[in-house]
A = this chain, B = another copy of it.
């Protein structure tokens, strides 16, 4: 497979883009990374994802695939000769898909809104909510990992990617709010997992440093404030 066959429209701070990059790395696939700029959308993005106009978009042999989890499953199915991403057992697959949907529909939107909470009370409630979600994932970890190091068992898999892609923003949230969502006392398994995940060869070069994300979060907040005032 020549490098030019696979393109990814994305941006480095996006956890959703990171998912596609990790999945491509797991399969040892070269790809062209087409970076979108904050505040504008390229013609290629608008044409490739007319419904949502959002990154990531994977373009494989000219055909666009949108939505991060759909992309991860697509990569797993097309390059099936590489290490598998989805668990092989249907029940394990269902569990992984269930928790990935929970992360995207409930947990991440809630954690993300901490940054824009107007009232101190609302901010605290959201932090508590995010912490409760992490505790549920600690519990899910023991059921999914079956005593191994990853949600996917011995290797990183679908749920590792779905949750792990949020680690940068989770650490940024911890830092900016002076709290710990993953810690030794309440979530010891996840603490260990987060270290293994972050240093994994398929992950370490695409998971941004927390300091860099904190800086980006400040730029983003200013950008949003300016956009809403204009």
Contacts and interface: CB of A to CB of B under 8 A. Distances in A.
Given A90-B74, A90-B78, A67 B136 contact: no
Interface of A: 51-52, 60, 63, 65-67, 70-71, 73-74, 77-78, 90-91, 93-94, 97-98, 101-102, 105, 136
Given A78-B90, A90-B74, A91-B74, A97 B67 contact: yes
A78, A91, A94: residue with the most chain B Cβ atoms closer than 10 Å:
A94
Contact of A70 (B65, B94, B136): B94
Contact of A74 (B65, B70, B94, B136): B94
A8 to B, nearest CB: 14
A73 B91 contact: no
Contacts of A63: 91
A146 to B, nearest CB: 15
B102 A51 contact: yes
Contacts of A70: 94, 97-98, 101
B77 A65 contact: no
A74 B93 contact: yes
A80 to B, nearest CB: 9
A91 B66 CA distance: 11
A98 B66 contact: yes
Given A77-B90, A77-B93, 4 more contacts: A51-B136, A65-B91, A67-B97, A71-B94
A157 to B, nearest CB: 16
A154 to B, nearest CB: 22
A71 B66 CA distance: 22
A73 B100 CA distance: 14
A101 B66 CA distance: 11
A98 B136 CA distance: 27
